[in-house]
Amino acid sequence: MRDNKTSQVASEYDANVSKTIPYYTLFHEETIKLVKACGVTTGSWLDTGCGTGNFILKAKEHFNDVQFVAADPSSSMLEIAKEKLSDMDTTCLLAGTEELCHAGPFEVVTAILAHHYLDKMMREKATHNCYAMLKLGGVYITFETIRPGTDKGTKIGLQRWRDTQMANGKSPDSADKHISRYGTELLPITIDSHLMLLRETGFSIAEILWVSGMQAGFYAIK
């Protein structure tokens, strides 16, 4: 039985995520570059949907004076994160973003591959919670699987994603299993819808950070 919302059990997540998500480590690198460009050097940072803690471990190397808070709805994922981050002064919260609203306020909130599991209502609630937990001038960064603007574009994108997973070492059956989640467990929205949601939530700035294939990154400033 799966113990989290990803396509593999928590204990196998680290070994498989880069096979499944092209440029996974680049998401982390681009997020760190963006936060540096925004001038954040101290304060507090919430990483919601933190998974096994990989991103915070990397971010801490660049932001030593920032206090990190890790949140995830999976107890199995969070237990692995706690072990990885045991030498850091990190607070861990067992909750999804849609449940968080009273933490903070934070200079930075990140949600990397966390909200594409949420339906429209829960995604809106999660985004509003991220906005509410930010300080004025704070930055929100999210990476998600996206939906192309046409059915044909979606078909092409999913084929490319399947091919990439197999090139990265996954079996055809494993790649097909992951692709079959698109539109059922993975609930992506278009780039335009992402930007509209951020603006309607109240962010003063909403921009595209990065796009490739079926994944995109966005940032917004309160």
- For residue range 138-190, list pLDDT tens digits in order: 999 999 999 999 999 999 999 999 999 999 999 999 999 999 999 999 999 99
- Where are the alpha helices (H) located in 8-95, listed in sequence order? 10-20, 24-37, 54-60, 75-84
- 171 located within any domain: yes
3-class DSSP state for residue 14?
helix
Q: Structural domain of residue 213, as residue ranges? A: 10-221
| Short-list 22, 10, 146, 144, CA closest to 73 | 10
- Asked whether residue 7 carries a pLDDT value surpassing 70, the answer given is no
Can you say whether residue 43 is alpha, beta or left, with left for phi > 0 and alpha for psi between -120 and 50 degrees?
A: left
Average pLDDT over residues 19-47: 95
- 162 located within any domain: yes
- 1 located within any domain: no
- 80 located within any domain: yes
As a whole-number percent, the residues of the chain with pLDDT over 90 amount to: 86
- 59 located within any domain: yes
Residue 56: count of CB within 10 angstroms of its CB: 25
- Asked whether residue 1 carries a pLDDT value surpassing 70, the answer given is no
Q: Tokens representing 165?
A: 């997973």
- 134 located within any domain: yes
Q: How confident is the model at residue 14 (pLDDT cuts 50, 70, 90)?
A: confident
CATH of the domain at 91: 3.40.50.150
Top-confidence range, 3-7, 15-19, 109-113: 109-113
- 41 located within any domain: yes
- 21 located within any domain: yes
- Asked whether residue 89 carries a pLDDT value surpassing 90, the answer given is no
Number of domains in the chain: 1
Q: Of 59 and 13, which is predicted with more confidence?
A: 59
- Asked whether residue 4 carries a pLDDT value surpassing 70, the answer given is no
